[in-house]
Structure 1
Amino acid sequence: MNLRTLDLNLLVVLRQLLEDRHVSRAGEQLGMSQPAVSRALQRLRVMFDDPLLVRTSRGFDLSARAEALLPDLIHWIEDTERLVSRQSFDPATSTHVVRFYGPEPEVGWFLPPLFERMRRLAQGMVLEVKSEPRDHFDQLERGEVHFVLSPFEPSAASTAQIHSLYLAPMAFALVMNADNPLALGAISAERIAAANHGLVSLTGRGGGTVENGLLAQGYLAQGERLNQPLRLTSFTSIAAFCECSDMVFLLPKQFAEELAHGRNLVVRETPPEATTGGPQVSLYWHERFHNDPMCVWIRDQLKAVHGSTVERHGKKSSL
């Protein structure tokens, strides 16, 4: 039989007929008239080349073919209903693994409150976080992670498939050895431009937020670069380098304060001109997970712990 010529609605009528063994009652359950159900039964008898319902002294009974069909028919219809129905998600019983990518400062800022909420509301779920240096958005494109926390923006080519949720602006501070000249006195853009800088480069591109800010404000000439004798791909060794050298790192303020605690380090506020146009943290996810119930729930939990936000497709949103 060619399935393209098969009226699948007839199978729904057949199930009801076989369960009720009565044309009028089946019509009532289906919201169809008795003549319409009778016509459907005639078509079904032709389709299966079998009477399906056989008249007896007690009313209709099932033919041998109908007896064999009914269990498979019930199973097929239930599977079809599950196939087209909206996927459900119950955090209390879920054992899903939700996968994030994000740099260490952003992970430490945004994800612990989310995890605390998950431990209360979804104890069977697992939070998996990747922070290794790499292109932030390739993993979304390939479906390797559900979400990316990032101060960067996707390329124009991939923006149409990526949704975003603006979370917060990034406040910056400078971290340095307590004996560094910048640790004392007023900090100006000129003094920052003259200092020796360390840079954590997650993408391997560009000179970083300080260099970009100073260039934008004219404290560095076009083509001029900050002195950056140290480039790292991880945040874990920053404190050790600062304690034994004159390196200065610009870091998210909260992360900088945690890093300096109990060490011979100083955290200094930055003048606005040094971080003009600095990044803002957003949550990103791909179109493939936009309507996934688990991912919708995770976004709702992030909103609950980090304030009311508005989602947008293709560009950042605002608080």
Structure 2
Amino acid sequence: MSRVDPFSIDFNALRTLVQVFDSGSFSGAAERLDVNQSTVSYTVERLRKAFQDPLFVRQGAGIAATDRCEEIVSGLREMLDGYQAIATPRGFDPAEASGVVALSCNYYERLVILPDLIKALRRHAPGLAVSVYQAFGAGAAQLKRGESDFLMGPIRFNDSGLFKRRLLSDHYVCVMDRNNPLATRDLDLTSYVSAAHAIVTYGGNWKSNYLLELEKQGIQLNQVLGVPSPADLGSILKGTDLIATLPSRMAASMEQEVVVRPCPCPAPFDIDLVWTSRTHHSPMHMWVRQEIARIAQAVPDVPRPE
């Protein structure tokens, strides 16, 4: 393999390498970069000669990155994010701004924060569009690949190179039909565990804090129903003996349909906002972060049900 001077490689080529690594295919990288696949193939071939490594090898119907490629991409992410920060203009006027803000979050954040964020953007920055991605367990990967600019949720990782800001705190409560025999009294742990539960499974990609705390105690609930989203739980519970455990602010939005009662396993948790160095110094993203934080601070606490 003839050698290409590594210092002749430009930032665009390095970005192509990261995109091939993230998408797992040349065609996927070409689509993300809006170029021909032949352009991606040519760029990767030059990179192979510069780094003296195959970078990607055939694996079944796809490709797999070599160990050397993983090492190179790991170093490139921070370098490319830093360069983008340097290249970002410092002036920012929300009223004149245009672009797309990509946000990874789940149902909770879409219910509690997103509506007021959209109102703020339409009022102060009408040229900004918002693209929302379902986070579940993929939010961190979406953020690191640059698919999203922000991740909102109950974050359970502390990776280096990430910035985090706490937005608000919450806890779990129980919701059930008004005629459920359990609706007239506080649940102790024994009656709670033996009750018939409707559990939000989030498609198997996320597990709620209260379930994790119960597991630590060796306790398993009597799951009668599993649903991938809490969106329709209010109507599902009506007329049944099922109970569900939800964050208090989510439960408060269903109070016209269900009764909200204290949970013997409240499992408090925080909702955080996370971003990378790619957007850390961007005036536009700084402004959006401030708006998200302002909105979160104004979210009222939900009184503990009597």
Instruction: Compute the TM-score of the two structures, normalised by the length of structure 1.
Output: 0.60
Paired residue secondary structure (1:260): coil
Answer yes or no: is 1:247 the counterpart of 2:242. yes
* Structure 1 residues 206 and 255: CA distance shift in structure 2, 3 A: closer
Aligned-partner Cα distance in 2 for 1:162–1:203: 26
Where does 1:1-319 land on structure 2 (aligned, <5 Å)?
Answer: 86-131=89-134, 133-154=136-157, 156=158, 159-202=159-202, 204=204, 208-216=208-216, 218=217, 222=218, 224-261=219-256, 263=257, 265-271=258-264, 274-276=265-267, 278-307=268-297
In structure 2, what is the Cα distance between the partners aligned to 1:300 and 1:205?
Answer: 29
Q: Which runs of 5+ in 1 are unaligned?
A: 5-82, 309-319
Instruction: Assess if the C-alpha contact under 8 Å between 1:133 and 1:234 holds in 2.
Output: no
Q: Is the 8 A contact 1:94 1:122 kept in 2?
A: yes
Aligned residues of 1:189 and 1:214 also touching (Cα < 8 A): no
Distance 2:119 2:245 in 1: 29
Gaps of 5+ in 2: 1-6, 8-85, 299-306
CA distance in 2, matches of 1:134, 1:209: 14
CA contact (8 A) 1:113 1:305 kept: yes
What letter corresponds to residue 180 of structure 1 in structure 2? N
Give the distance between the partners of 1:190 and 1:106, measured in 2 at CA: 31
Distance apart, 1:148 and its partner CA = 1.2
Q: Compute the displacement of 1:244 (Å).
A: 4.3
Q: Please state whether the residue corresponding to 2:261 is helix, strand or coil.
A: strand
Are the aligned partners of 2:136 and 2:202 in contact in 1 as well (CA < 8 Å)?
Answer: yes
In structure 2, C-alpha distance between the alignment counterparts of 1:109 and 1:142, rounded to whole Å: 26
Larger radius of gyration: 1
Residue-by-residue CA offset, 1:171-212 (whole Å, 9 max, x unaligned): 322111122222111221222111122222236257533333
**Cα contact 1:213–1:275 (8 A) shared by 2:** no
CA deviation string 1:38-62 (max 9, x = no partner): xxxxxxxxxxxxxxxxxxxxxxxxx
Q: Name the CA distance, whole Å, in 2 between partners of 1:85 and 1:113.
A: 27
8 Å CA contact 1:193–1:214 kept in 2: the answer is no
The structural deviation recorded for 1:234 is 1.6
CA distance in 2, matches of 1:206, 1:96: 31
- SS of 2:260's partner is strand
In 2, the alpha carbon distance for the partners of 1:141 and 1:124 equals: 25
Runs of 4+ in 1 over 4 A off after TM superposition: none
Task: Give distance in 1, aligned partners of 2:104 and 2:117.
Answer: 14
Compute the displacement of 1:86 (Å): 3.7
Cα offsets for 1:138-167 (capped at 9, x unmatched): 11011111111111323x5xx102211101
Q: Tell whether the 8 Å contact from 1:198 to 1:232 is kept in structure 2 after alignment.
A: yes
SS across alignment from 1:299: helix
| Number of aligned positions between the proteins | 214
Contact 2:193 2:220 in 1 (8 A): no
The 3 A distance-change label for structure 1 pair 132 and 252 is same
Task: Name the CA shift for 1:208/1:123 in 2 (closer, same or farther; >3 Å).
Answer: closer
CA distance in 2, matches of 1:135, 1:85: 27
User: Partners of 1:303 and 1:211 in 2: how far apart?
Assistant: 28
CA spacing shift, 1:260–1:130, aligned 2, 3 Å:
farther
Deviation for aligned residue 1:286 = 2.0
Change (3 A) 1:132 1:139: closer
Q: Tell me, yes or no, if the aligned pair for 1:152 and 1:279 is still in contact at 8 Å.
A: no
- Distance between the aligned counterparts of 2:135 and 2:89, measured in 1? 35
Q: Aligned with 1:179: secondary structure?
A: coil
Normalised by the size of structure 2, how large is the TM-score?
A: 0.62
